[in-house]
Structure 1
Amino acid sequence: MNIHSNKITIMKKNVLITGTSTGVGFESAILFAKNNFKVYASMRNLKKAVELEKRIAEENLDIEILSLDVTKIDSINAAVKTIIEKDGKIDVLYNNAGAGFAKTTEQSTEAEIRWVTDVNYLGVVFCTQAVLPYMRKQKSGQIISITSVGGLVGQPFNELYCGAKFAVEGFMEGLATYVGGAFNIKFTCIEPGGISTEFMTSAIGKTAVDGEFATGEYLPIFERYMAGNQKRAQESKEQVYQTGLEVATVALEVAQNEQPPLRIRTSKWAEDFCNLKTKADPDGTKLVQQISKTFL
């Protein structure tokens, strides 16, 4: 708070959000801006910023659009430098950028394996690496990463995607055990189930992109998998698939929480799906405390 001329001004927190051209990132940028955040909305392809630019103009939102490709370190560092030069700080990093992928390990190319890892895991690592020096210096900050129920539970044809999301979970948990307490930096993994956005369309596209994928001994398993996906997609009354706004709302609640959890699921379906993995320590707080005590 700044006090000047008997007026109290509440300083906005700023937030860098990756992957804001569509889906959860798009909804998050708008929602955070409407709730007293200065939003730096980043995306790889600025040609996809048209809809967000339209909403910014219509609603007079405090959002600045930045170019940021999470697979390129120079792009990440340039975006962070821009924010620091303008605001002198970064309060929240919101790692949202990611991409679905469903294909067998055997039938995935080296390029595909590297791509799914770069987008879903290494992008989080390098974005986090870029902001940590500033958060550490200011002795405050928050890093939020969209992972998935696939970051807790491995699933058919999703092992490469799940592997990347498991890695994000371990990365965030490890940081929380020592960086969190020492420098007042908070870490949270947000774990949605299915999301009804372009993300799901992309995931299915990556599944069926090669004609040879749905052949051979994997074919009957794959057919059962796809049939199950279609059935769940039709069960909207059970909210298997959430909207981007519903997930963005959970992210906002985490960003506004003075004591946010290490991990949080975004729906009852997601909670039930992960129950066997999470019931002993649903929000991850106990484990972080135990590990910190054990090693530090």
Structure 2
Amino acid sequence: MKKNVLITGTSTGVGFEASMLFAKNNYKVYATMRNLKKADQLKKKIEEENLDIELLPLDVTKIDSIASAVETIIEKDGKIDVLVNNAGAGFAKTTEQSTEDEIRWVTEVNYHGVVFCTQAVLPYMRKQKSGQIISITSVGGLVGQPFNELYCGAKFAVEGFMEGLATYVSDAFNIKITCVEPGGIATEFMTSAIEKTAVEGQFATGEYRPIFELYMAGNQKRANESENQVYQTGAEVAEVVLNVAQHEQPPLRIRTSKWAEDFCELKTQADPDGTKIVNQLKASFL
């Protein structure tokens, strides 16, 4: 019997590529997105390559939407083997000049969505005594970066949530937990983050403006000079996600490129894959 996988945020980027890659590797894929009107590209691939992918609406900021998608999968298959928490959104803006709505939004999309999707699948994985939860975090979940503190804060929260969860659900219920930590990704995620910043760039005013301009110039320079080293494709990151899903004993943490490894080295050199800290926490608390 095929394993099934629920993937959030599949209209573009890593989620889009992961949906196709999992289907080509004998998984039944439930590809979800907030707005199915954005599914045309994926529908085309499904038809062209006869992929075992079913599209479902799922808005990670709405608990009813999450519950409906999970219930649909359970009704069809009776189980959920793998959850890939991929949906997320970039955000670059100063804390001082961010609105309350923006702060709540970046947290809901990048953190609360992961928690509520995970909460929705846990009862089924617990009962079947097996499952895997993979969250696409970021090097920004390990290392804070200028003008990204609100985004990084949400990703740091995901890392802490996943780490805490791993200390007890893995042994008790055979539920494997992993954070996949990309660096820059050359996808619409990156494009939309930069466009949102540029189009609404009036927030970088006053004393912040020259610092922000240096930040944007640095981003552009890295994109122009080091694209192959810094920015991965969505397909490259999706390969890492699939490898994690197929791993008998997947790590708690894994970076997706050498650049990401180097960028996080000061934070990860004592425990690169998170195994030591999880074992220490188990010994301390359980």
The bucket for the TM-score relative to the shorter chain is over 0.9
TM-score, normalising length: structure 1: 0.95
Aligned partners of 1:103 and 1:206 also within 8 Å: no
Letter in 1 for 2:282: S
1:277 aligns with 2:247: no
Task: Name the CA distance, whole Å, in 1 between partners of 2:227 and 2:191.
Answer: 20
Cα deviation code 1:100-155 (max 9, x no counterpart): 00000011001100000000000000000000000000000000000000000000
Task: Name the CA distance, whole Å, in 1 between partners of 2:225 and 2:256.
Answer: 17
Letter in 1 for 2:123: P
Match of 2:52 in 1: 62
- Cα offset for 1:211? 4.5
Cα deviation code 1:178-229 (max 9, x no counterpart): 1111100000000000000000111112323335323200011101101100
Task: Name the CA distance, whole Å, in 2 between partners of 1:211 and 1:191.
Answer: 27
2:36 pairs with one of 29, 43, 46: 46
Task: Name the CA distance, whole Å, in 2 between partners of 1:152 and 1:243.
Answer: 21
Task: Name the CA distance, whole Å, in 2 between partners of 1:238 and 1:96.
Answer: 22
1:251 pairs with one of 211, 219, 241: 241
Task: Name the CA distance, whole Å, in 2 between partners of 1:212 and 1:234.
Answer: 25
Match of 1:30 in 2: 20
Letter in 1 for 2:169: V
Task: Name the CA distance, whole Å, in 2 between partners of 1:107 and 1:12.
Answer: 49
- Cα offset for 1:238? 4.7
Match of 1:8 in 2: none
1:146 aligns with 2:136: yes
Task: Name the CA distance, whole Å, in 1 between partners of 2:257 and 2:114.
Answer: 23
Match of 2:118 in 1: 128
**Max Rg structure:** 1
- Cα offset for 1:234? 1.1
Aligned partners of 1:208 and 1:214 also within 8 Å: no
TM-score, normalising length: structure 2: 0.99
- Distance of aligned partners of 1:177 and 1:237 in 2 relative to their CA distance in 1, 3 Å threshold: same
C-alpha RMSD of the superposition: 0.8
Letter in 1 for 2:27: F
How many correspondences in the alignment? 286
1:200 pairs with one of 168, 184, 190: 190
Aligned partners of 1:31 and 1:249 also within 8 Å: yes
Letter in 2 for 1:110: E
Cα deviation code 1:224-275 (max 9, x no counterpart): 1011000110123652000000000000000000100000000000000000
Q: Percent identical across equivalent pairs?
A: 84
Query: Per residue, is there more helix in 1 or in 2?
Result: 2
Task: Name the CA distance, whole Å, in 1 between partners of 2:98 and 2:205.
Answer: 14
Cα deviation code 1:64-112 (max 9, x no counterpart): 0000000000000000000000000000000000000000001100110
1:288 aligns with 2:259: no
Aligned partners of 2:9 and 2:34 also within 8 Å: yes
Match of 1:94 in 2: 84
Task: Name the CA distance, whole Å, in 1 between partners of 2:149 and 2:55.
Answer: 33
Q: Residue 38 of structure 1: SS of its match in structure 2?
A: strand
2:250 pairs with one of 255, 260, 265: 260
Aligned partners of 2:94 and 2:204 also within 8 Å: no
Letter in 2 for 1:16: L
Match of 2:61 in 1: 71
Task: Name the CA distance, whole Å, in 1 between partners of 2:193 and 2:149.
Answer: 13
2:171 pairs with one of 181, 191, 215: 181
Q: Which runs of 5+ in 1 are unaligned?
A: 1-10
Aligned partners of 1:153 and 1:162 also within 8 Å: yes
Q: Residue 99 of structure 1: SS of its match in structure 2?
A: coil
Match of 1:225 in 2: 215
Match of 2:107 in 1: 117
Task: Name the CA distance, whole Å, in 2 between partners of 1:211 and 1:241.
Answer: 23
Task: Name the CA distance, whole Å, in 2 between partners of 1:238 and 1:142.
Answer: 31
Task: Name the CA distance, whole Å, in 2 between partners of 1:279 and 1:154.
Answer: 17
Letter in 1 for 2:223: A
Aligned partners of 1:142 and 1:255 also within 8 Å: yes
Task: Name the CA distance, whole Å, in 2 between partners of 1:31 and 1:57.
Answer: 15
Task: Name the CA distance, whole Å, in 2 between partners of 1:215 and 1:209.
Answer: 14
Q: Residue 136 of structure 1: SS of its match in structure 2?
A: helix
